[in-house]
Amino acid sequence: MFQILKRAFTSLLPLLLFLQQCFAFELPLSDHSLREAYFLGQHHDASTEAALKPYIHHLPVPQKGPYISETRLLTPYAQVIDVSNAQSAGYSAQQAFADYHARTDTILVRVRIEFSATYNLLEAENDANSASAKKGIKIRREDFWKAFHVGLSQRDDWIDPLSLDGEATYSDNGMDGALIWLVCDANDLASEPASVEVFTPDGQHVISTFDLSVLR
């Protein structure tokens, strides 16, 4: 019986390895994966949303302080879907192929910060020279996001980013938060869990983990 099971496992091993390669973090993307990602993006429907859903985490609201509401980690495969989805009619598979090959394989991280009841547009003001000092408050600067430390880690090691940037976000009521982008070389990561980490000015340490052994 043991020999039969051993032979059965041996015969299935190539299939298991093939399936792992199909669904795990892929570098570089094959023509088949590129084509598949392009068409998923072009659907512009629930199938596109479902394909991108594993790459987006919605986080719980903290008891106080700024709200890290969303983290995104887009692999090269997910980026092709995202770019294709953002394009209107006339964006061809050939253009998607050309766009992919024109850029290096990167991991794109995006963190959304939202104001809350205890961390909003107004902040404590200690500058006596400020026009609003009498009220003890001041308007938060547009680059307030620079006080947040955002990074990508794997195996407890920080991945050195290629670039980091951010910008304030706005609603009808004015500034309501910010987005921070982090770009890392995809070749610096292995096909295993990677964590987006955010250290906030008030001492929060938010961790959002994406399993690259599952994500393509």
The pLDDT score that the predictor gives to residue 136 is 63
Give me 118's structure tokens: 């205890």
What is the per-residue burial (b if ≥16 Cβ within 10 Å, else e) of 193-208?
ebbbbbebeeebebeb
Q: CA angle 174-44-58, nearest 5°?
A: 50
List per-residue pLDDT tens for the chain, 216 residues long: 555 544 544 454 444 334 444 447 899 999 999 999 999 999 999 999 999 999 999 999 999 999 999 999 999 999 999 999 999 889 999 999 999 999 999 999 999 999 999 999 998 644 444 444 445 678 999 999 999 999 999 999 999 999 999 999 999 999 999 999 999 999 999 999 999 999 999 999 999 999 999 999
The pLDDT score that the predictor gives to residue 137 is 77
The pLDDT score that the predictor gives to residue 162 is 98
Domain ranges across the chain: 27-211
| Cβ atoms 34, 96 nearer than 8 A | yes
The pLDDT score that the predictor gives to residue 25 is 85
Give me 206's structure tokens: 């938010």
Helices (H), the chain: 2-23, 31-43, 46-52, 76-86, 93-102
The pLDDT score that the predictor gives to residue 135 is 57
What is the per-residue burial (b if ≥16 Cβ within 10 Å, else e) of 21-45?
eeeebbeebeeebbebbbebbbeee
| Cβ atoms 195, 126 nearer than 8 A | no
Q: Which H helix or E strand runs over 193?
A: strand 193-199
Strands of the sheet containing 163-171, edge to edge, are: 56-58, 67-74, 106-114, 174-185, 163-171
How many helical (H) and strand (E) elements, i.e. helices and strands, does the chain have? 5, 11
The pLDDT score that the predictor gives to residue 89 is 83
The residue whose two tokens read 């050939």 is 94
Distance, in Å, from the CA atom of 212 to the CA atom of 82, rounded to the nearest integer, reads 18
Helix axis angle, 31-43 relative to 76-86, nearest 10°? 40
The pLDDT score that the predictor gives to residue 1 is 53
